[in-house]
């Protein structure tokens, strides 16, 4: 998971080396916008720029596409909190809940059934995210070191990107009811 | 006979582009603290337009840059440094240290060696490990790292004088504030292009205190 600017962050699935290029590009794009307009880049504008780059590698140059999918989260003053998913083709869509990477189709179907549009606050969202992630990892109770968790919230009216500590994650797992229980001792 | 007096403009003889707007910047080192101060005049040659123009900018938690010279370049450079600082902190996942920042400022200016930005910056910051740091540069990036104080702007000559007289080592934050304020106020009263208000930032390990000074508005 990477911060792109104060108000936008991404989660990556795919070839890490390819992702690093795109993340750097995204960071530069965000700063260039900020420099030109003296305001933070709207989330979809940023995503659009990244996806245009991804697309160009599918049409020009004889180069292979970036093997990367992104989940882009952020807040801007025009559209509030947003979540987008993009893929190697450069296609992107806005979502209420989404997953990428291993077992993501399964996760998508769980999200489709369990995410209640209009009735999911931050607490429920975090809980659901943790549960779904556990399912994707194929474990009943993942250990906190195996998870990365971050969020973007508004603090005093300004967006803030927070990376959760191991302790925070333990708390999350507990609240979601998927905490690692002491092994009873298998034979 | 009618004396054909052509209406003379209020503009005086322009000496240099660095004197088009006018400014006074000073930074001083104290005991585990630094202070940086500037005047607030925005003027175009002899005319004063505003008295609330920022010339000192907070670039990080304990890092400030004061930029004297042509105001448009002052503002553009501030925006450019915001860009570069943000990229650095995102990539390196840590804030930029004052010494490193002043190197960045220096190289940014030298890149335009044969078409420079008309600014003369002053960097002031509190390094987490090495304590107080101040530096000043000319318009093409030549740095001076001082242990006591640095000055910049149309009032630099006057500021050198007062600072040399008033500065002493190991001043605490309150004494430093008094010293830098009195130095600035005394100096700008001898410079018609700077003054019209002043602002002082004192940086200690506990945080930053900012105060505006009441000065002569002429």
Q: Testing the interface with A: which of B60, B78, B90, B93 to mutate, by most A Cβ within 10 A?
A: B90
- Above pLDDT 90, what percent of chain A? 82
What's residue B12's pLDDT?
Answer: 61
Asked if B79 and A38 come within 8 Å (Cβ–Cβ), the reply is yes
Res B22 pLDDT > 80? yes
Asked if B83 and A32 come within 8 Å (Cβ–Cβ), the reply is yes
* Predicted-complex ipTM score: 0.77
CB atoms < 10 A from the CB of A177, how many? 10
Task: Note the pLDDT tens digit of each residue in B44-61.
Answer: 999 999 999 999 999 999
Segments of chain A assigned E as strands? 2-5, 8-14, 68-76, 80-86, 92-94, 150-155, 158-163
**B-contacting residues in A 31-50 (Cβ below 8 Å):** 31-32, 34-35, 38
What's residue A52's pLDDT?
Answer: 97
Q: What's the rounded mean pLDDT across residues B202-206? A: 97
The mean of the pLDDT values for chain A is: 92
* Backbone torsions φ then ψ of B195, nearest 5 degrees: 130, -135
In chain A, residues with a C-beta closer than 8 Å to the C-beta of B87 are 27-28, 31
Res B11 pLDDT > 60? no
Q: Give the least confident one: A164-173, B166-175, B196-205.
A: A164-173
**What whole-number distance in Å separates Cα of residue B191 and Cα of residue B23?**
9
What's residue A159's pLDDT?
Answer: 96
In chain B, residues with a C-beta closer than 8 Å to the C-beta of A34 are 82-83, 86
**A-contacting residues in B 79-118 (Cβ below 8 Å):** 79-80, 82-83, 86-87, 90-91
A20/B contact by beta carbon, under 8 A: no
Closest-CA distance, A31 to chain B, in angstroms, reads: 6
Task: Note the pLDDT tens digit of each residue in B129-165.
Answer: 999 999 999 999 999 999 999 999 999 999 999 999 9
Q: Testing the interface with B: which of A10, A35, A36 to mutate, by most B Cβ within 10 A?
A: A35
Task: Note the pLDDT tens digit of each residue in B113-134.
Answer: 999 999 999 999 999 999 999 9
Q: Testing the interface with B: which of A31, A32, A40 to mutate, by most B Cβ within 10 A?
A: A31
Asked if A31 and B86 come within 8 Å (Cβ–Cβ), the reply is yes
Q: Is the whole-model pTM more than 0.90?
A: no
Asked if A5 and B82 come within 8 Å (Cβ–Cβ), the reply is no
Q: What's the rounded mean pLDDT across residues B174-191? A: 97
**What whole-number distance in Å separates Cα of residue A181 and Cα of residue A133?**
17
Residue of chain A nearest B83, judged by CA positions: A31
Asked if B90 and A5 come within 8 Å (Cβ–Cβ), the reply is yes
Asked if B82 and A27 come within 8 Å (Cβ–Cβ), the reply is no
In chain A, residues with a C-beta closer than 8 Å to the C-beta of B90 are 3-5, 27
Task: Point out the residue among B79, B82, B87 whose CB comes nearest to the CB of A27.
Answer: B87
What's residue B166's pLDDT?
Answer: 97
Confidence of residue A129 (pLDDT cuts 50, 70, 90): very high
* Contact status, residue B37 vs residue B200, Cβ threshold 8 Å: yes
Res A135 pLDDT > 90? no
A4/B contact by beta carbon, under 8 A: yes
Q: Which residue has the higher pLDDT, A184 or B33?
A: B33
Closest-CA distance, B8 to chain A, in angstroms, reads: 39
Q: What's the rounded mean pLDDT across residues A17-40? A: 96
Confidence of residue A137 (pLDDT cuts 50, 70, 90): confident
What's residue B18's pLDDT?
Answer: 95
- Above pLDDT 70, what percent of chain A? 96
Task: Note the pLDDT tens digit of each residue in A53-111.
Answer: 999 999 999 999 999 999 999 999 999 999 999 999 999 999 999 999 999 999 999 99
What's residue A158's pLDDT?
Answer: 95
């Amino acid at each position: 998971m990477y911060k792109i600017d104060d108000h936008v962050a991404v989660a990556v699935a795919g070839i890490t080396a390819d992702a690093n290029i795109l993340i750097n590009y995204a960071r530069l794009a965000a700063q260039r916008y900020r420099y030109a307009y003296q305001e933070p880049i709207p989330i979809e504008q940023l995503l659009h720029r990244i996806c245009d780059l991804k697309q160009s590698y599918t049409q020009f140059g004889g180069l292979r596409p970036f093997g990367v999918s992104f989940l882009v989260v952020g807040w801007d003053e025009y559209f509030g909190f947003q979540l987008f998913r993009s893929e190697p083709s450069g296609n992107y869509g806005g979502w209420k809940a989404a997953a990428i990477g291993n077992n993501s189709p399964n996760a998508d179907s769980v999200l489709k059934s369990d995410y209640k549009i209009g009735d999911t606050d931050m607490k429920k969202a975090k809980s659901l995210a943790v549960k779904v992630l556990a399912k994707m990892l194929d474990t009943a109770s993942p250990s906190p070191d195996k998870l990365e968790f971050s969020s973007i919230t508004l603090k005093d009216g300004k967006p803030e990107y927070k990376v959760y500590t191991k302790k925070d994650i333990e708390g999350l797992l507990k609240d979601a009811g998927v905490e690692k229980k002491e092994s009873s001792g298998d034979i | 006979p009618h004396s054909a007096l052509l209406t003379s403009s209020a503009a005086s003889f322009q000496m240099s582009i660095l004197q088009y707007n006018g400014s006074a910047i000073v930074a001083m080192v104290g005991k585990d603290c630094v202070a940086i101060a500037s005047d607030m005049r925005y003027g175009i040659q002899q005319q004063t337009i505003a008295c609330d123009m920022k010339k000192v900018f907070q670039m990080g938690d304990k890092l400030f840059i004061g930029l004297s010279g042509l105001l448009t370049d002052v503002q553009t450079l501030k925006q450019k440094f915001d860009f570069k600082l943000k990229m650095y902190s995102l990539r390196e996942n840590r804030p930029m240290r004052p010494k490193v920042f002043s190197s960045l400022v220096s190289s940014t200016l030298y890149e335009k060696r044969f078409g420079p930005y008309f600014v003369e910056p002053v960097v002031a910051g509190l390094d987490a490990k090495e304590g107080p740091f101040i530096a000043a540069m000319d318009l093409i990036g030549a740095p001076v790292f001082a242990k006591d104080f640095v000055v910049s702007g149309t009032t630099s000559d006057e500021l050198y004088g007062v600072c040399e007289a008033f500065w002493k080592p190991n001043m605490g934050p309150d004494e430093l504030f008094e010293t830098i304020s009195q130095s600035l106020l005394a100096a700008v009263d001898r410079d018609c292009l700077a003054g019209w208000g002043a602002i002082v930032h004192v940086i200690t390990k506990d945080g930053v205190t900012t105060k505006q000074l009441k000065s002569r508005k002429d």
